[in-house]
Amino acid sequence: MAVGSIAAYQLRRGVGCLSFLWDNFLPDHSPVSWARADSISREIPGFLVSSHFGCDLDFTPVDRSSIVTKVLSTVVPLFSQPDRPTLDTLKSLDIPVFLFTELEGETSQSSAVVTQVAEKLHGKFFVATTTDPTLAEEGGAQPPFVVVWNSHDEVKPVYHDKLELGRLLKFAEKASTPVIGRLDLKSYIDHTQSTLPLAFILAETDKERKAIAESLKYVALKHKLKVNFVTLDTTKLPFLLEPLGVDSTRLPAFAIHRGDNEEVSVYDQNRQINAKDVEIFLHRTLNWPLKEL
Protein backbone atom coordinates (compact mmCIF):
# COMPACT_ATOMS: atom_id res chain seq x y z
CA MET A 1 0.00 0.00 0.00
CA ALA A 2 1.39 3.39 -0.95
CA VAL A 3 2.15 6.06 1.64
CA GLY A 4 -0.82 8.12 0.47
CA SER A 5 -3.15 5.12 0.56
CA ILE A 6 -2.14 4.37 4.14
CA ALA A 7 -2.91 7.96 5.14
CA ALA A 8 -6.33 7.85 3.47
CA TYR A 9 -7.10 4.47 5.01
CA GLN A 10 -6.31 5.67 8.52
CA LEU A 11 -8.35 8.85 8.12
CA ARG A 12 -11.47 6.92 7.08
CA ARG A 13 -12.08 6.26 10.75
CA GLY A 14 -12.93 9.89 11.43
CA VAL A 15 -14.71 12.76 9.71
CA GLY A 16 -12.26 14.75 7.67
CA CYS A 17 -11.29 16.70 4.64
CA LEU A 18 -7.94 16.46 2.93
CA SER A 19 -6.59 18.92 0.40
CA PHE A 20 -3.99 17.77 -2.12
CA LEU A 21 -2.37 18.95 -5.28
CA TRP A 22 -3.41 15.69 -6.85
CA ASP A 23 -6.98 14.35 -7.14
CA ASN A 24 -6.75 10.58 -7.21
CA PHE A 25 -5.48 10.18 -3.66
CA LEU A 26 -8.83 9.97 -1.86
CA PRO A 27 -11.15 6.96 -2.04
CA ASP A 28 -14.46 7.42 -3.87
CA HIS A 29 -16.34 5.24 -1.40
CA SER A 30 -15.75 5.68 2.31
CA PRO A 31 -17.68 5.48 5.61
CA VAL A 32 -17.20 9.25 5.95
CA SER A 33 -18.04 12.19 3.76
CA TRP A 34 -15.02 13.44 1.82
CA ALA A 35 -14.74 16.85 0.22
CA ARG A 36 -12.21 17.65 -2.48
CA ALA A 37 -10.80 21.13 -2.94
CA ASP A 38 -8.18 22.65 -5.20
CA SER A 39 -5.63 23.79 -2.63
CA ILE A 40 -4.06 26.30 -5.03
CA SER A 41 -7.15 28.12 -6.34
CA ARG A 42 -8.70 28.23 -2.88
CA GLU A 43 -5.42 29.35 -1.29
CA ILE A 44 -5.42 26.62 1.32
CA PRO A 45 -2.05 26.75 3.15
CA GLY A 46 0.29 23.82 3.00
CA PHE A 47 0.06 20.59 1.08
CA LEU A 48 -1.12 18.35 2.25
CA VAL A 49 -3.43 19.93 4.89
CA SER A 50 -6.14 18.42 7.04
CA SER A 51 -9.29 19.78 8.69
CA HIS A 52 -11.90 18.12 10.88
CA PHE A 53 -15.57 19.04 10.84
CA GLY A 54 -18.45 18.32 13.20
CA CYS A 55 -16.30 18.27 16.34
CA ASP A 56 -14.77 20.74 18.73
CA LEU A 57 -11.15 20.26 17.73
CA ASP A 58 -8.63 23.01 17.27
CA PHE A 59 -7.16 22.94 13.77
CA THR A 60 -3.73 24.00 12.70
CA PRO A 61 -2.70 23.46 9.06
CA VAL A 62 0.10 20.95 8.71
CA ASP A 63 2.30 20.10 5.80
CA ARG A 64 2.50 16.84 3.90
CA SER A 65 5.55 15.55 5.75
CA SER A 66 4.01 16.05 9.19
CA ILE A 67 0.73 14.28 8.51
CA VAL A 68 2.29 11.39 6.61
CA THR A 69 4.81 10.99 9.44
CA LYS A 70 2.02 10.92 12.01
CA VAL A 71 0.05 8.32 10.10
CA LEU A 72 3.03 6.10 9.33
CA SER A 73 4.26 6.19 12.93
CA THR A 74 1.02 4.47 13.97
CA VAL A 75 0.79 1.86 11.20
CA VAL A 76 4.32 0.75 10.36
CA PRO A 77 5.60 -2.46 11.96
CA LEU A 78 8.06 -2.39 14.85
CA PHE A 79 10.90 -2.58 12.35
CA SER A 80 11.21 -3.09 8.63
CA GLN A 81 13.75 -4.04 5.96
CA PRO A 82 13.37 -1.18 3.49
CA ASP A 83 14.69 -0.97 -0.03
CA ARG A 84 16.39 2.20 -1.27
CA PRO A 85 13.24 4.09 -2.41
CA THR A 86 11.38 3.29 0.83
CA LEU A 87 14.35 4.31 2.96
CA ASP A 88 14.67 7.58 1.05
CA THR A 89 11.00 8.31 1.76
CA LEU A 90 11.38 7.57 5.47
CA LYS A 91 14.49 9.77 5.67
CA SER A 92 12.52 12.74 4.34
CA LEU A 93 9.89 12.60 7.09
CA ASP A 94 9.79 14.18 10.54
CA ILE A 95 10.65 11.10 12.61
CA PRO A 96 14.31 9.95 12.67
CA VAL A 97 15.27 6.66 11.02
CA PHE A 98 17.24 4.21 13.20
CA LEU A 99 18.96 1.78 10.81
CA PHE A 100 20.74 -1.38 11.97
CA THR A 101 23.33 -2.45 9.40
CA GLU A 102 24.22 -6.10 9.94
CA LEU A 103 26.26 -8.85 8.32
CA GLU A 104 24.51 -11.40 6.13
CA GLY A 105 23.96 -14.55 8.19
CA GLU A 106 24.36 -12.86 11.59
CA THR A 107 20.95 -11.23 11.87
CA SER A 108 19.63 -14.02 14.12
CA GLN A 109 22.22 -13.15 16.78
CA SER A 110 21.00 -9.56 17.06
CA SER A 111 17.30 -10.07 16.35
CA ALA A 112 16.33 -10.04 20.04
CA VAL A 113 18.14 -6.75 20.63
CA VAL A 114 16.67 -5.22 17.47
CA THR A 115 13.17 -6.19 18.60
CA GLN A 116 13.72 -4.78 22.10
CA VAL A 117 15.07 -1.51 20.71
CA ALA A 118 12.20 -1.26 18.23
CA GLU A 119 9.64 -1.76 21.01
CA LYS A 120 11.22 0.99 23.12
CA LEU A 121 11.57 3.43 20.22
CA HIS A 122 8.25 2.79 18.46
CA GLY A 123 6.56 6.08 17.60
CA LYS A 124 9.79 8.02 18.17
CA PHE A 125 11.91 6.44 15.41
CA PHE A 126 11.35 4.42 12.28
CA VAL A 127 13.48 1.37 13.14
CA ALA A 128 14.86 -0.59 10.21
CA THR A 129 17.44 -3.27 9.45
CA THR A 130 19.53 -4.06 6.41
CA THR A 131 22.35 -6.34 5.31
CA ASP A 132 23.21 -3.96 2.47
CA PRO A 133 25.90 -1.60 3.84
CA THR A 134 25.50 0.74 0.86
CA LEU A 135 22.11 1.82 2.25
CA ALA A 136 23.86 3.24 5.32
CA GLU A 137 26.07 5.46 3.13
CA GLU A 138 28.87 5.15 5.64
CA GLY A 139 31.91 4.52 3.47
CA GLY A 140 34.05 1.58 4.52
CA ALA A 141 32.41 1.03 7.91
CA GLN A 142 32.14 -2.65 8.80
CA PRO A 143 28.83 -4.03 10.14
CA PRO A 144 27.32 -4.26 12.63
CA PHE A 145 26.65 -0.58 13.27
CA VAL A 146 23.72 1.82 13.53
CA VAL A 147 23.10 5.07 11.68
CA VAL A 148 20.40 7.66 12.36
CA TRP A 149 18.90 10.03 9.81
CA ASN A 150 16.99 13.08 10.95
CA SER A 151 15.67 15.39 8.23
CA HIS A 152 16.38 18.36 10.50
CA ASP A 153 19.98 17.35 11.27
CA GLU A 154 23.10 18.52 9.44
CA VAL A 155 24.90 15.27 10.30
CA LYS A 156 24.24 11.55 10.54
CA PRO A 157 25.12 10.05 13.95
CA VAL A 158 26.77 6.63 13.80
CA TYR A 159 27.00 4.00 16.53
CA HIS A 160 29.86 1.47 16.36
CA ASP A 161 29.71 0.04 19.89
CA LYS A 162 28.26 -3.26 21.10
CA LEU A 163 24.65 -3.97 20.21
CA GLU A 164 23.40 -3.82 23.80
CA LEU A 165 19.97 -2.48 24.71
CA GLY A 166 21.11 0.07 27.30
CA ARG A 167 23.85 1.54 25.14
CA LEU A 168 21.63 1.67 22.07
CA LEU A 169 18.85 3.47 23.95
CA LYS A 170 21.34 5.99 25.33
CA PHE A 171 22.58 6.62 21.78
CA ALA A 172 18.98 6.93 20.58
CA GLU A 173 18.25 9.53 23.26
CA LYS A 174 21.08 11.71 21.97
CA ALA A 175 20.15 11.15 18.33
CA SER A 176 16.40 11.71 18.81
CA THR A 177 16.86 15.44 18.21
CA PRO A 178 19.35 17.01 15.79
CA VAL A 179 22.98 16.61 16.84
CA ILE A 180 23.73 19.75 14.81
CA GLY A 181 20.52 21.52 13.88
CA ARG A 182 19.83 24.37 11.47
CA LEU A 183 19.19 27.72 13.09
CA ASP A 184 16.23 29.86 12.07
CA LEU A 185 14.44 32.63 13.95
CA LYS A 186 12.01 30.29 15.70
CA SER A 187 14.66 27.86 16.87
CA TYR A 188 16.90 30.78 17.87
CA ILE A 189 14.21 32.00 20.27
CA ASP A 190 13.76 28.47 21.62
CA HIS A 191 17.50 28.09 22.16
CA THR A 192 17.92 31.47 23.86
CA GLN A 193 15.16 30.55 26.31
CA SER A 194 17.13 27.44 27.23
CA THR A 195 19.93 27.55 29.78
CA LEU A 196 22.11 25.24 27.68
CA PRO A 197 25.14 26.72 25.92
CA LEU A 198 24.67 27.21 22.18
CA ALA A 199 27.54 26.52 19.76
CA PHE A 200 27.27 28.26 16.38
CA ILE A 201 28.81 27.12 13.09
CA LEU A 202 28.60 30.23 10.91
CA ALA A 203 29.18 30.15 7.16
CA GLU A 204 27.80 31.59 3.93
CA THR A 205 27.31 28.39 1.94
CA ASP A 206 25.53 25.15 2.68
CA LYS A 207 28.62 23.24 1.57
CA GLU A 208 30.81 25.01 4.14
CA ARG A 209 28.31 24.54 6.94
CA LYS A 210 27.88 20.83 6.23
CA ALA A 211 31.64 20.24 5.95
CA ILE A 212 32.36 21.92 9.29
CA ALA A 213 29.38 20.21 10.92
CA GLU A 214 30.66 16.83 9.75
CA SER A 215 34.12 17.56 11.15
CA LEU A 216 32.58 18.45 14.54
CA LYS A 217 29.98 15.67 14.58
CA TYR A 218 31.62 13.57 17.27
CA VAL A 219 32.31 16.61 19.47
CA ALA A 220 28.64 17.59 19.24
CA LEU A 221 27.46 14.03 19.88
CA LYS A 222 29.81 13.64 22.85
CA HIS A 223 28.42 16.76 24.53
CA LYS A 224 24.79 16.32 23.43
CA LEU A 225 22.32 17.23 26.18
CA LYS A 226 24.95 19.59 27.64
CA VAL A 227 25.55 21.85 24.61
CA ASN A 228 23.35 22.53 21.58
CA PHE A 229 25.19 22.77 18.24
CA VAL A 230 23.62 24.62 15.30
CA THR A 231 24.59 25.91 11.87
CA LEU A 232 23.82 29.52 10.97
CA ASP A 233 23.34 30.68 7.39
CA THR A 234 25.01 34.10 7.46
CA THR A 235 23.36 35.11 4.17
CA LYS A 236 19.88 34.68 5.70
CA LEU A 237 20.62 35.84 9.26
CA PRO A 238 23.43 38.40 8.85
CA PHE A 239 22.08 40.58 11.66
CA LEU A 240 23.14 37.94 14.22
CA LEU A 241 26.84 38.35 13.43
CA GLU A 242 27.32 41.63 15.30
CA PRO A 243 25.70 40.56 18.60
CA LEU A 244 27.77 37.37 18.44
CA GLY A 245 30.94 39.39 17.93
CA VAL A 246 31.78 37.64 14.67
CA ASP A 247 33.76 39.45 11.96
CA SER A 248 31.68 39.06 8.78
CA THR A 249 34.78 39.44 6.59
CA ARG A 250 36.42 36.34 8.08
CA LEU A 251 33.97 33.52 7.65
CA PRO A 252 33.39 30.67 8.35
CA ALA A 253 33.44 31.07 12.13
CA PHE A 254 32.59 29.26 15.35
CA ALA A 255 31.17 30.85 18.50
CA ILE A 256 29.66 29.78 21.82
CA HIS A 257 26.90 31.52 23.75
CA ARG A 258 27.17 30.35 27.36
CA GLY A 259 23.42 30.18 27.99
CA ASP A 260 23.53 31.08 31.68
CA ASN A 261 24.48 34.66 30.82
CA GLU A 262 24.93 36.89 27.77
CA GLU A 263 28.62 36.07 27.32
CA VAL A 264 29.66 34.97 23.82
CA SER A 265 33.11 33.62 22.95
CA VAL A 266 34.37 33.51 19.37
CA TYR A 267 36.87 30.91 18.21
CA ASP A 268 39.98 32.53 16.68
CA GLN A 269 38.81 33.47 13.18
CA ASN A 270 42.36 33.27 11.87
CA ARG A 271 42.52 29.54 12.70
CA GLN A 272 41.01 26.67 10.79
CA ILE A 273 38.03 25.13 12.57
CA ASN A 274 38.89 21.57 13.62
CA ALA A 275 37.56 19.11 16.17
CA LYS A 276 40.60 19.02 18.48
CA ASP A 277 40.87 22.80 18.89
CA VAL A 278 37.09 23.24 19.17
CA GLU A 279 37.02 20.65 21.96
CA ILE A 280 39.65 22.61 23.89
CA PHE A 281 37.88 25.91 23.14
CA LEU A 282 34.62 24.41 24.40
CA HIS A 283 36.16 23.28 27.70
CA ARG A 284 37.87 26.60 28.34
CA THR A 285 34.82 28.68 27.44
CA LEU A 286 32.49 26.66 29.65
CA ASN A 287 35.05 26.22 32.44
CA TRP A 288 35.12 22.47 32.10
CA PRO A 289 38.25 20.67 33.38
CA LEU A 290 40.72 20.03 30.56
CA LYS A 291 41.66 16.72 32.17
CA GLU A 292 38.40 15.32 30.75
CA LEU A 293 39.84 15.54 27.23
Which of 28, 60, 75 lies at the terminal end of a domain, its last residue?
75
Same domain? For 71 and 81 the reply is: no
**Residue of 245, 243, 268, 249 lying closest to 204 (CA atoms):** 249
Distance, first Cα to last Cα, the chain: 51
Where does residue 127 rank: exposed (0-12), middle (13-18), buried (19+ CB within 10 A)? Answer: buried
Instruction: Say if residue 282 is in the same domain as residue 185.
Output: yes
Q: What is the pLDDT of residue 222?
A: 94
- The whole-number pLDDT of residue 68 equals 57
Q: Which of 109-113, 210-214, 218-222, 227-231 has the lowest mean pLDDT?
A: 109-113
Q: Are residues 187 and 286 in the same domain?
A: yes
Whether residues 45 and 120 share a domain: the answer is no
Count of structural domains, the chain: 3
Edge-first strand listing for the sheet containing 126-130: 79-80, 126-130, 97-101, 145-149, 158-159
Residue range 162-176: average pLDDT?
95
- pLDDT value, residue 220: 97
Strand partners, 219: none
Residues 288 and 248 both lie in one domain: yes
* Mean pLDDT to the nearest integer, 27-40: 47
Same domain, 164 and 207: no
Q: What is the CATH classification number for the domain harbouring 84?
A: 3.40.30.10
Q: Is 11 helix (H, G, I), strand (E, B) or coil?
A: helix
Per-residue pLDDT, 32: 44
pLDDT digits (tens, 9 = 90+) for 51-87: 444 444 554 555 555 555 555 555 566 678 989 998 9
Residue-level pLDDT at 18: 42
Apex CA 109: angle with CA 107 and CA 113, to 5°? 90
Confidence (pLDDT) at 53? 44
Q: Are residues 100 and 141 located together in one domain of the fold?
A: yes
Q: Are residues 142 and 196 in the same domain?
A: no
Mean predicted lDDT score pLDDT of the chain: 79
In a shared domain, residues 107 and 53:
no
Q: Which of 45, 75, 105 is the last residue of a domain?
A: 75
User: Is the same domain home to 195 and 220?
Assistant: yes
Please state the pTM of the whole predicted model.
Answer: 0.72
Judge whether residue 280 has pLDDT over 70.
Answer: yes
Q: Which of these, 153, 142, 54, lies nearest to 96 by C-alpha position?
A: 153
C-alpha distance from residue 232 to each of 178, 202, 211 (Å): 14, 5, 13
More confident residue, 136 or 11: 136
- Domain final residue pick, 16, 49, 75: 75
Say what the pLDDT of residue 128 is: 93
Confidence at residue 77, expressed as pLDDT on a 0 to 100 scale: 61
Same domain as 184, residue 170: no
Higher-pLDDT residue of 19 and 210 is 210
- Residue of 148 and 187 predicted with greater confidence: 148
Domain that holds residue 113: 76-175
Question: What are 100-143's pLDDT values in tens digits?
Answer: 998 887 766 688 899 999 999 988 999 999 999 899 988 778 88
Q: Are residues 100 and 202 in the same domain?
A: no
